[in-house]
């Protein structure tokens, strides 16, 4: 096996499955960005693609592509680490491959239907065949059931592999978390014609995913990633993981109430949601402290610089996007004004990118390094590693720029529509014509292009990094004692 050349013999069976998931994830990431640019443009040119690809359809593709690519990335990450953690090879490799193809084909069919069919009659058939109409998880019911089956098979594969091999603190948390993550998806299949009830259950998926189970999942990946990138001590990362999980679940579960303020649920949710969600930043601070402390102890010496950089970006992105941007509008007194404005979009973008895009990218870099035969990816990469550095910079600059632009628009919207206009229908439109709002939309698009350039550069880098590199990755101990 020649170093510097992509060769699947460098990978364990589970990792061969993982890289398939990573490739699919990157394709969907690119699709998300393309559709993001389209809907961003539609804010500026409202009749763009009107009648052929309406805002509502393109927006649906944008955010569903995001959920699916991140799930693909997570599934891939777990396949990537499971064998090393368990000390045995994957139990059902053929099953893992089969589900990958079933899942990917199902996703492609769903997207084709979104794009070419788009609408149907207000009957059950549309719900079964076109889309279920719940933001972020809009797959039609047939695909919904398919996803559950795929998840069960995936869960079996992972749990059985750990059962055959050995358990660790990280894998214990991971498997319990997967039970919760998959179980919650079922809540999103609950159907009722009462919109309040429908929303009540739908948030169980969205909120309890991103603010509880996904956070714990990335906590596990982070713990493992710190061991891999800087040789952090297992005992230390596991202790941190337990603390973070306890704090995350302690605040995140009842923090759910911050989505129940104005949807027709009882009034006590104002207090419950306000109080518990206000505590949610605490575990996110812990995560930053944890990552920086560990990286600091190891003097930031790492066998994979891009991966470590993206792990650090994750720690900060999670804290700012979810913690700070979430906290800003989580008290009911404030949310009364900001609810459903561009303020929410500002937070939604920074949080999903900061918390989840970043850590997936970190694992992509770990994967490509090994796939190319464990090549050198520390200081002194060819061209000084300009591609990964520039894509890191452009993606983060693009996202921060979009977030700021949206925040300005959202502020103006809250002020004019809610505070001055008293939330009337005409105030809703008036707010969206104000100069600050319109300029915010313009600058979001400009930074969106910067983000898109960063995405293309990232993909280019992942395709080429380590190519022709003959130096093997120095043993971590060597790097650290050097």
Name the site residues for ligand HEM (rule: CB under 6 A). 33, 36-37, 39-40, 43, 59, 62-63, 66, 135, 210-211, 258-259, 277, 280-281, 322-323, 326-327, 329-330, 335, 339-340, 344-345, 347-349, 351-353, 355, 357, 445, 448, 451-452
Task: Return the number of the residue (26 or 86) whose C-beta is nearest ligand HEM.
Answer: 26
Q: Is 339 in the site for Fe ion (CB under 5 A)?
A: no
Q: How many C-alpha atoms does 436 have within 13 Å on its Cβ side?
A: 15
Give the chain's largest Cα–Cα span: 69
Q: How far is the CB of 243 from ligand HEM (least distance, A)?
A: 17
Question: CB neighbours of 253 closer than 8 A, spacing ≥ 6?
Answer: 208, 212, 276
Q: Which does 270 bind (CB under 5 to 8 A by kind): ligand HEM, Fe ion, none?
A: none
Other CB atoms within a 10 A radius of the CB of residue 97 amount to: 14
Query: For Fe ion, which is the closer residue by CB, 207 or 372?
Result: 207
Q: Which long-range contacts (CB under 8 A, 24 or more apart) does 106-111 make?
A: 106/143, 106/146, 106/147, 106/150, 107/28, 107/68, 107/143, 109/143, 110/64, 110/139, 110/140, 110/143, 111/31, 111/61, 111/65
Options 16, 62, 134, 207; binder of Fe ion; rule CB under 5 A: 207
Taking the complex as a whole, the smallest distance from the CB of residue 266 to ligand HEM amounts, in Å, to 18
How many residues touch Fe ion under the rule CB under 5 A: the total is 2
**CB neighbour list of residue 154: distance below 8 Å, 6 or more residues apart:** 75, 96, 99
Specify the residue, 302 or 341, whose C-beta has the smaller distance to Fe ion. Answer: 341
Q: Kindly tell me which of 138 and 211 has the beta carbon lying closer to ligand HEM.
A: 211
Q: Which of 204-212, 304-312, 338-346, 455-463 is the region at the interface with Fe ion (rule: CB under 5 A)?
A: 204-212
- Of 80 and 451, the one with the shorter C-beta distance to ligand HEM is 451
The site partner of 280 among ligand HEM, Fe ion, none (C-beta below 5 to 8 Å per kind) is: ligand HEM
Number of H helices, E strands in the chain: 20, 0
| In the complex, least distance from residue 328 CB atom to ligand HEM, rounded to whole angstroms | 8
Cα→Cα distances 465→246, 316, 364, 462, 472, Å? 38, 25, 11, 6, 14
Per partner kind, with CB cut-offs from 5 to 8 A, the member of Fe ion, ligand HEM, none near residue 451 is ligand HEM
Q: What is the DSSP letter of 266?
A: -
Q: Tell me the C-alpha distance between 67 and 152, whole Å.
A: 18
Site string for Fe ion, 162-201 (x = CB under 5 A): ----------------------------------------
Pick left, alpha or beta for residue 232 (phi over 0 → left; psi -120 to 50 → alpha; otherwise beta). beta
Whether the CB-CB separation of 290 and 244 falls below 8 Å is answered with: yes
Smallest distance, Å, CB 252 to ligand HEM? 7
Residues of this chain that interact with Fe ion (CB under 5 A) are 207, 211
């Amino acid at each position: 096996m020649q170093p510097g050349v992509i060769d699947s013999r460098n990978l364990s069976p589970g990792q061969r499955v993982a890289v398939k998931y990573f490739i699919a994830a990157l394709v969907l990431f690119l699709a998300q960005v393309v559709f993001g640019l389209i809907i961003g443009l539609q804010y500026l040119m409202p009749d763009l693609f009107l009648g052929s690809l309406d805002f509502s359809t393109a927006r649906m593709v944008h955010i569903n592509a995001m959920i699916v690519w991140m799930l693909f990335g997570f599934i891939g990450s777990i396949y990537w680490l499971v064998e090393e953690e368990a000390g045995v090879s994957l139990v059902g490799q053929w099953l893992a491959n089969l589900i990958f193809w079933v899942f990917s084909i199902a996703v492609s069919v769903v997207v084709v239907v979104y794009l070419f069919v788009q609408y149907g009659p207000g009957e059950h058939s549309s719900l079964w065949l076109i889309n279920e109409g719940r933001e972020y998880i809009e797959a039609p019911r047939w695909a919904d059931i398919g996803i559950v089956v795929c998840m069960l098979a995936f869960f079996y594969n992972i749990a059985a592999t750990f059962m055959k091999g050995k358990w660790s603190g990280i894998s214990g948390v991971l498997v319990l978390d997967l039970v919760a993550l998959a179980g919650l998806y079922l809540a999103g299949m609950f159907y009722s014609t009462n919109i309040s009830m429908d929303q009540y259950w739908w948030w169980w998926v969205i909120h309890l995913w991103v603010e509880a189970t996904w956070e714990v999942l990335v906590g596990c990946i982070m713990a493992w990633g710190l061991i891999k990138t800087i040789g952090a001590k297992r005992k230390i990362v596991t202790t941190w993981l337990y603390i973070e999980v306890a704090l995350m679940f302690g605040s995140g579960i009842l923090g759910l109430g911050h989505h129940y303020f104005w949807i027709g649920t009882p009034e006590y949710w104002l207090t419950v949601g306000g109080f518990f969600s206000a505590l949610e930043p605490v575990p996110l601070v812990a995560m930053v402290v944890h990552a920086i402390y560990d990286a600091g102890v190891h003097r930031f010496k790492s066998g994979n610089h891009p991966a470590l950089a993206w792990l650090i970006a994750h720690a900060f992105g999670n804290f700012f996007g979810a913690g700070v941007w979430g906290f800003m509008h989580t008290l009911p007194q404030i949310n009364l004004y900001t609810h459903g404005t561009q303020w929410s979009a500002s937070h939604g973008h920074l949080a999903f990118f900061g918390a989840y895009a970043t850590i997936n990218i970190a694992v992509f870099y770990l994967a490509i390094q090994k796939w190319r035969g464990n090549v050198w990816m520390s200081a002194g990469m060819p061209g000084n590693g300009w591609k990964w550095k520039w894509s890191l910079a452009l993606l983060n600059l693009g996202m921060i720029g979009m977030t700021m632009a949206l925040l300005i628009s959202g502020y103006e919207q809250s002020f004019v529509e809610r505070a001055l206009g008293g939330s009337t229908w005409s105030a809703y439109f008036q707010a969206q014509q104000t100069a600050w709002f319109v300029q915010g939309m313009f600058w979001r698009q400009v930074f969106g292009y910067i983000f898109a350039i960063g995405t293309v550069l990232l993909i280019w880098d992942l395709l080429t990094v380590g190519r022709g590199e003959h130096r093997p990755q120095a043993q971590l101990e060597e790097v650290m004692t050097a």
